[in-house]
C-alpha cells in the first residue's frame, strides 16, 4: 500500500508545483513583466492552470484513494498520512464535480467582469458593472449547484473557503461581537481624547520609506534569502517554503500604509515559510484555511504591528530612519494615531475597531444575493443603507461604496469572512500566547520580538493543515472558537487608547 | 484534414508555451530569485521540462503526422503549412528516439558535471573535472547513438544544433578562412599603428554605465515595453515575441564589456521579437538555427556595434553621458581600440579577428573526442598546444585554457560552431545589405540606424524558420554560403583600422 500512497502524494506534489509556477507567473505579471507581455502571460497562466486542474481531477486519484482506503494495511498509516489522504479526497470530490468547460467559462467571465468593474470603478458608476456582476452571481449559483445541490448555496461557498464554515456558525460569532463594538465605536468617537491625525499625512520620502520597510522585515526576522519585498499596486504574497515573495505600496503622504501592508504580507509570508514542517508539497504541509492565513497576517499587522509594546521598542529606530520628520511626536501620540478609530468608506483602510463591520456588511449582501433575497441592481442602495446603519457612514458614491473591492468581479463570493475569522482566530490564539508568555509585553518592548513570533510560528505556522481551522484553534487554545477574545482585545485596547472610563 | 492540422499545431503550441515558462523560470533563477530558492526552482524546472518533453513525443503527434501526410488533401496545404508539418516531424523523430530515462540521466549528470567544473575552474585544476567530463562525453556518444547510429557521431551533433551541418561542410568554410586570418593577425600585430589600450580600462561609474546601456537600447530601437534589461553574471537572452528579456554585466574598469554584451543580447532579443511574423507558436514562427541566432547577435554587436559609422553617430552622446572621462579621446582612437586585434586566452573576450580561431580549436577537440582520436585526460595539453599553433598564445593555466567555457559541463558538444557560422552568415548577409542600401554608412553616421536594422529585421528576423540556415542565407543573398564575405569583411576592416598597406 505504501507504493500507492507514494503515488498519490506524487500526483499531489506535481499539482502543487504547477500551482507554485502559476502563482509565480502572476507575481511576474505584477512585478517584473514588461508592459506588453500580458497576452503571452495569460496564455502561460491558462495552460499551467489547465494542467494543474487535470492533475487534481485525474481518474487515477480516485482509483488510488479507493485502493488505499479499502486496503487491509490502511490502519497502519500514521495520523498525518491519513490526514493527507482525507484532504486529497476532499479536494478531489469537490473538483471532480465541476465540469472543465464550466471552469473555463467561469474564469473567462472573471476576466470580462474584472474589466467592467475597473471601468465602473473609474467612473464611479455601478450600472457599468451590473450586468457582468449578475452573470458572475449566476455562475456562482451554478457552481454551488455542481458542488452540492442539497445545501444552502451560500453555506456551500463558505465551506469551500473555510472547511466546516456555515452562516449559522458565522452569525453566532459576529452577532455578540456587534453588540460590543457598536457602543465602543461610539465611546471612542465621543471621547475627549482624540489622536492627532495630521501626523499620518506628514511627507516621508519614498527612499526613506523603502529603507524603513526593509528594516522592519529585518526586525521581525523575515528572511530575505527566502523571499523578496517588491512594490505593486495591490500588495500581496505569493510562493511558499523557501521562496515567498511579498509586496507593498508606498505613498509619500501616507507612510503608515506601506508599513502596515508590509507587516500584513509578512504575516502571510511567514506562514508560507514555515507551513511545510509536516511535509512539503503534502496536504498537511500547506495552509489550513483562508481564515488562518488572515489570522497570521493580522497577527503581524495588528496585534504586533500596532501594539504599544512593538513601537516602544521600534519607535527610536523609526525616528532615526526618518530624520527630523517625527521629532516632535511622542510615542504615545504615535501609537494612538496608528490605532485611531473612525468609521470610513474603504475596507482596506479601516481600523481594527470598525473593520469587521465592513465584513459583516459584505457577508449579509452575499448571503442575500445567493439566496435570491435581493437583486444585483439594488446593491448600491442597500450597500449605502447598511453603511449608515452599521457604521453611521454616508457613502458618497459607488466608487467608495459597492465598487471598492475587486473580489466579486473575480467571481469570489463567500471569501470575505476570512478577514473577520482571521481577527477572531488571531485574538483567541493571542490570548493563549499571553498565558504562555506572561512577560510578552516586556520582552517585546525590549526588542525580544522573536519570543512572541516563535511561539506563533510553532503553534500556528508549523501545524500546517493537520486539522481544520476550528479544530486547530481549539487545539492551540484549549477553548472553542469564540469572538469574545476579539471583543475583549478591542475593548481593552481602545479603552486604553481613548482613555475611556 | 484542417482539423488534424490544427490539432497538431495545438500540441506544438502547448509545448512551446511550456518551454517559454521554463526559460522564464531560468530567468528568474538568475535575476530575481531569492538566494535560497534554488532547490524549489529546480523542482519546477524539472517538472515543466518533463511535461514539455512528454508533449513533444506523445504518440498522438506521430498519428497526426501520418494522417495528415497521407491525406488526399495534403497537397492543398500552403508551403508554410507544409514546412510546419515537416519541422514538427523532424523534431518528433529526433526526440522520440531518445528514452525519457536517458534524458533524465543526461540532465542529472549535467548538474553534477557543472558543479565539478565550477570547482575545477575556481582552483584552475582540470583533474577535478576530468572524470565528470569523461562521463559527459560518454553520454553524448550514447545520445548520438540513439539519434543515428549509422552516421559519424560528431556529424550527428552538428546536425542537431544546425540542421544540415556536418564536419566536411564546416571545414570547407573555415579552412580558407584560416588562410586569410592568420597572416592578417600577424600584420596587425606588426603594424606601426597600435590602438591605445589604456582607454579601455578608464573607470566608468556603474550608474553611468547603466544609463549608457539603456540609452543604447533606445538608440537601436529595442522596445522595453516588450522586454527588459537586467544584470547577471553571464549575459543571456530569454523569451520571445512580446516578452524578451536580455541581461548584461557591468565592470567599473571595463566599460566596453557591458556595451558589447548589451548589443549582442539585443541582437538575439530582436530576433525573438520579430521571429513570429509567420505565426507565433508555430514552427515557422521560431528561430531558424543557432547559427542564424548568432548571426543576429553578432550583427548587432560587431558589424553595427563596433562600426566606425555607428560610433560617428553615437560617440558625442557617449561622451556626453560619460562626463569628462573620454574628453581627450578622438573618435578614431576610440573606434580603433574597441576593435583592437590581439591573440588572447578567453573566447568571450576575443576580438572579431581572432575569435574564430577559438571556435576552430573547440571544433577540432570535440570532433576528435567524439571519434575517439583523443582522450579527455589529454585535453589540457592539446588545448594549450593548439592555442600556441593557432593563435601564438601561451596558456598560463587550466582556468584560462580548457576550463574557460561552461558548455561541455552542461553536456553541450557540437554547439560552438554556431558562433563562427554566425560570423559567416552575418557578414554574407551584410554584403547583400550593402548592395541594397548603398548609403548605409552615411545613413548610420547621421543616426538613421533604423534603415539598416529594418532591413535586417525584414530579411532575417521575420523569416523565422521558413527554411534551413544554408537555404535561408542563399535565399537572402542569392549566393551559396561562403566564408569569403567574412574574410573580406575582416581584411577590409582591419586593414583600415591598422593602416595596413
Residue-wise pLDDT for B310-336, tens only, equals 999 999 999 999 999 999 999 999 999
pLDDT at position A100: 82
pTM of the model: 0.94
Helix axes B59-69, B2-31, angle to 10 degrees: 140
Sign of CA dihedral A115, A118, A124, A129: positive
CA distances to B71, B282, B407 from B6, rounded to whole Å, are: 14, 11, 37
Query: What residues contact A420, with CB distance under 8 A and at least 6 apart?
Result: A173, A174, A355, A356, A359, A360, A363
Q: Which residues of B touch A282 (CB under 8 A)?
A: none
Q: Is residue A35 part of a domain?
A: yes
Would strands B227-231 and B243-248 be described as parallel, antiparallel, or unpaired? parallel
Q: What is the distance between the alpha carbons of residues B431 and A105, in angstroms, rounded to a whole number?
A: 54
| Mean pLDDT over each residue of chain A, to the nearest integer | 96
> Are the C-beta atoms of B303 and B427 separated by less than 8 Å?
yes
Res B381 pLDDT > 90: yes
Q: What is the distance between the alpha carbons of residues B15 and B9, in angstroms, rounded to a whole number?
A: 10
B interface mutation test: which of A21, A44, A230, A231 has the most B CBs within 10 A?
A: A21
Chain A segment 243-282 residues within 8 A of B by beta carbon are 243, 245
Residue (of A238, A283, A245, A215) closest to A79 by Cα position: A283
Q: Is residue B259 part of a domain?
A: no
B interface mutation test: which of A11, A47, A246 has the most B CBs within 10 A?
A: A47
pLDDT at position B353: 96
Residue (of B267, B297, B304) closest to B419 by Cα position: B297
Residue A37: which of B44, B51, B243 has the nearest Cβ? B243
Q: Which tens digit of pLDDT belongs to each residue from A85-138?
A: 999 999 999 999 998 889 888 988 988 999 999 999 999 999 999 999 999 999
pLDDT at position A111: 86
Say if A40 is an interface residue toward chain B (CB within 8 Å).
yes
Backbone region of residue B98 per phi and psi (left: phi > 0; alpha: psi in -120 to 50; beta: other values): beta
A407 CB-contact burial (10 Å; exposed 0-12 / middle 13-18 / buried 19+): middle
Based on C-alpha coordinates, what's the Rg of chain A? 23
pLDDT at position B108: 87
Check residue B237 and report its DSSP letter: E
Helices (H), B303-416: 308-321, 331-338, 352-370, 379-391
Beta carbons of B34 and A241 less than 8 Å apart? no
pLDDT at position B134: 97
Q: Which tens digit of pLDDT belongs to each residue from B334-380?
A: 999 999 999 999 998 899 999 999 999 999 999 999 999 999 999 99
pLDDT at position B41: 93
Q: Is residue B130 part of a domain?
A: yes
Helices (H), B100-224: 100-123, 127-147, 153-161, 167-190, 206-220
Q: Is residue B144 part of a domain?
A: yes
Torsions phi, psi for B238 (to 5 deg):
-145, 150
Query: What residues contact A459, with CB distance under 8 A and at least 6 apart?
Result: A429, A432, A433, A476
A255 CB-contact burial (10 Å; exposed 0-12 / middle 13-18 / buried 19+): buried
Q: Is residue A65 part of a domain?
A: yes
Q: Which tens digit of pLDDT belongs to each residue from A223-265?
A: 999 999 999 988 999 999 999 999 999 999 999 999 999 999 9
Q: Is residue A66 part of a domain?
A: yes
Residues B20, B162, B265, B364: which is the catalytic one? B265
Q: What is the dihedral of CA A301, A306, A310, A316, to 10 degrees?
A: 110
**Cell output for A334:** 504615535
**A265 catalytic residue (yes or no):** yes
Torsions phi, psi for B228 (to 5 deg):
-140, 160
Res A346 pLDDT > 90: yes
Res A307 pLDDT > 90: yes
| Mean pLDDT over each residue of chain B, to the nearest integer | 96
How many structural domains are present in chain A? 1
Q: Which tens digit of pLDDT belongs to each residue from A259-286?
A: 999 999 999 999 999 999 999 999 999 9
- The CB-based long-range contact list for A95-99 (8 Å cut-off, 24+ gap) reads A95/A53, A95/A56, A95/A57, A96/A57, A96/A62, A97/A146, A97/A147, A98/A143, A98/A146, A98/A147, A99/A146
Task: Tell me if residue B373 falls in helix, strand or coil.
Answer: coil
Q: What is the distance between the alpha carbons of residues B284 and B468, in angstroms, rounded to a whole number?
A: 10
Residue (of A105, A103, A110, A108) closest to A147 by Cα position: A103
Res B72 pLDDT > 90: yes
Check residue A411 and report its DSSP letter: T
The number of C-alpha atoms within 13 Å of B335 and in the hemisphere containing its C-beta is: 22
What mean pLDDT comes out for the span B410-433? 97
| Domain enclosing residue B78, as ranges | 2-155
Would strands A243-248 and A237-240 be described as parallel, antiparallel, or unpaired? antiparallel
Helix axes A59-69, A2-31, angle to 10 degrees: 140
Torsions phi, psi for A401 (to 5 deg):
-110, -115
CA distances to B163, B304, B420 from B290, rounded to whole Å, are: 9, 20, 11
Beta carbons of B25 and A28 less than 8 Å apart? no
> Are the C-beta atoms of A240 and A275 separated by less than 8 Å?
yes
Burial track B146-172 (b if 16+ CB lie within 10 A, e otherwise): bbeeeebbbbbbbbbbbbebbbebbee
CA distances to A27, A181, A423, A484 from A489, rounded to whole Å, are: 35, 11, 10, 8
B233 CB-contact burial (10 Å; exposed 0-12 / middle 13-18 / buried 19+): exposed
Q: What is the distance between the alpha carbons of residues A463 and A287, in angstroms, rounded to a whole number?
A: 9
Residue (of A108, A34, A14, A40) closest to A409 by Cα position: A108
Q: Which tens digit of pLDDT belongs to each residue from B426-471?
A: 999 999 999 999 999 999 999 999 999 999 999 999 999 999 999 9
What mean pLDDT comes out for the span A39-58? 93
Q: What is the distance between the alpha carbons of residues A213 and A317, in angstroms, rounded to a whole number?
A: 12
Q: How far away is chain B from the Cα of A39, in angstroms, using its nearest Cα?
A: 8
CA B350-B352-B358 angle, to 5 degrees, is: 50
Q: How far away is chain B from the Cα of A155, in angstroms, using its nearest Cα?
A: 36
Chain B residue at shortest CA distance from A25: B21
Q: Is residue A25 part of a domain?
A: yes
Task: Tell me if residue A270 falls in helix, strand or coil.
Answer: helix
Q: Is residue B118 part of a domain?
A: yes
Res A67 pLDDT > 90: yes
Q: How far away is chain A from the Cα of B103, in angstroms, using its nearest Cα?
A: 19
Task: Tell me if residue B339 falls in helix, strand or coil.
Answer: coil
Q: Which tens digit of pLDDT belongs to each residue from A130-179?
A: 999 999 999 999 999 999 999 999 999 999 999 999 999 999 999 999 99
Share of chain B above pLDDT 90, in %: 96
Res B111 pLDDT > 90: no
Q: Which residues of A touch B14 (CB under 8 A)?
A: 47
Residues A19, A265, A272, A445: which is the catalytic one? A265
pLDDT at position B258: 97
Say if B54 is an interface residue toward chain A (CB within 8 Å).
no
Sheet architecture: strand order including A237-240: A227-231, A243-248, A237-240
Share of chain B above pLDDT 70, in %: 100
Helix axes A417-436, A290-298, angle to 10 degrees: 60
Task: Tell me if residue A95 falls in helix, strand or coil.
Answer: helix
Res A12 pLDDT > 90: yes
B484 CB-contact burial (10 Å; exposed 0-12 / middle 13-18 / buried 19+): middle
Q: How far away is chain A from the Cα of B397, in angstroms, using its nearest Cα?
A: 35
Amino acid at each position: 500500500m505504501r507504493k500507492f500512497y507514494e503515488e498519490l502524494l506524487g500526483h499531489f506534489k506535481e499539482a502543487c508545483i504547477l500551482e507554485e509556477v502559476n502563482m509565480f507567473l502572476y507575481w511576474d505579471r505584477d512585478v517584473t513583466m514588461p508592459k506588453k507581455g500580458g497576452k503571452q502571460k495569460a496564455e502561460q497562466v491558462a495552460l499551467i492552470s489547465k494542467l494543474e486542474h487535470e492533475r487534481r481531477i485525474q481518474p487515477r486519484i480516485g482509483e488510488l484513494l479507493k485502493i488505499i482506503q479499502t486496503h487491509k494495511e490502511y490502519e497502519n498509516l500514521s495520523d498525518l498520512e491519513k490526514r493527507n489522504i482525507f484532504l486529497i479526497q476532499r479536494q478531489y470530490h469537490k473538483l471532480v464535480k465541476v465540469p472543465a468547460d464550466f471552469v473555463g467559462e467561469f474564469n473567462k467571465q472573471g476576466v470580462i467582469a474584472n474589466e467592467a468593474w475597473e471601468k465602473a470603478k473609474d467612473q464611479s458608476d455601478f450600472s457599468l458593472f451590473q450586468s457582468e456582476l449578475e452573470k458572475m452571481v449566476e455562475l456562482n449559483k451554478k457552481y454551488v449547484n455542481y458542488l452540492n445541490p442539497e445545501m444552502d448555496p451560500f453555506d456551500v461557498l463558505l465551506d469551500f473557503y473555510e472547511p466546516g464554515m456555515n452562516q449559522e456558525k458565522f452569525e453566532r460569532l459576529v452577532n455578540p461581537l456587534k453588540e460590543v463594538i457598536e457602543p465602543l465605536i461610539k465611546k471612542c468617537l465621543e471621547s475627549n481624547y482624540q489622536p492627532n491625525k495630521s501626523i499620518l499625512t506628514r511627507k516621508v520620502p519614498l527612499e526613506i520609506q523603502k529603507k524603513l520597510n526593509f528594516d522592519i522585515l529585518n526586525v521581525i526576522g523575515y528572511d530575505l534569502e527566502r523571499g523578496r519585498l517588491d512594490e505593486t499596486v495591490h500588495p500581496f504574497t505569493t510562493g511558499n517554503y523557501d521562496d515567498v515573495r511579498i509586496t507593498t505600496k508606498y505613498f509619500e503622504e501616507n507612510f503608515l500604509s506601506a508599513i502596515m501592508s508590509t507587516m500584513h504580507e509578512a504575516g502571510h509570508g511567514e506562514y508560507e515559510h514555515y507551513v511545510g514542517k509536516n511535509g512539503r508539497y503534502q496536504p498537511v504541509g500547506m495552509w489550513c484555511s483562508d481564515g488562518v492565513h488572515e489570522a497570521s497576517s493580522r497577527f503581524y499587522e495588528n496585534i504586533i504591528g500596532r501594539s504599544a509594546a512593538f513601537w516602544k521598542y521600534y519607535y527610536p529606530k523609526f525616528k532615526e530612519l526618518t530624520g527630523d520628520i517625527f521629532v516632535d511626536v511622542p510615542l504615545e501620540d504615535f501609537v494612538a494615531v496608528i490605532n485611531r478609530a473612525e468609521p470610513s468608506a474603504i475596507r482596506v483602510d479601516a481600523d481594527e475597531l470598525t473593520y469587521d463591520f465592513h465584513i459583516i456588511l459584505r457577508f449579509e449582501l452575499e448571503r442575500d444575493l445567493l439566496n435570491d433575497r435581493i437583486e444585483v441592481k439594488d446593491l448600491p442602495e442597500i450597500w449605502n443603507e447598511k453603511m449608515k446603519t452599521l457604521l453611521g457612514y454616508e457613502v458618497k458614491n459607488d466608487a467608495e461604496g459597492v465598487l471598492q473591492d475587486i473580489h466579486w468581479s473575480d467571481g469570489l463570493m463567500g471569501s470575505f469572512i476570512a478577514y473577520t475569522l482571521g481577527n477572531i482566530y488571531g485574538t483567541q490564539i493571542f490570548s493563549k500566547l499571553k498565558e504562555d508568555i506572561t512577560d510578552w509585553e516586556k520582552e517585546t518592548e525590549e526588542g525580544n520580538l522573536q519570543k512572541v513570533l516563535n511561539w506563533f510560528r510553532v503553534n500556528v505556522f508549523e501545524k500546517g493543515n493537520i486539522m481544520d481551522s476550528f479544530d486547530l484553534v481549539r487545539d492551540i487554545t484549549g477553548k472553542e472558537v469564540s469572538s469574545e477574545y476579539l471583543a475583549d482585545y478591542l475593548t481593552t485596547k481602545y479603552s486604553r487608547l481613548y482613555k475611556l472610563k
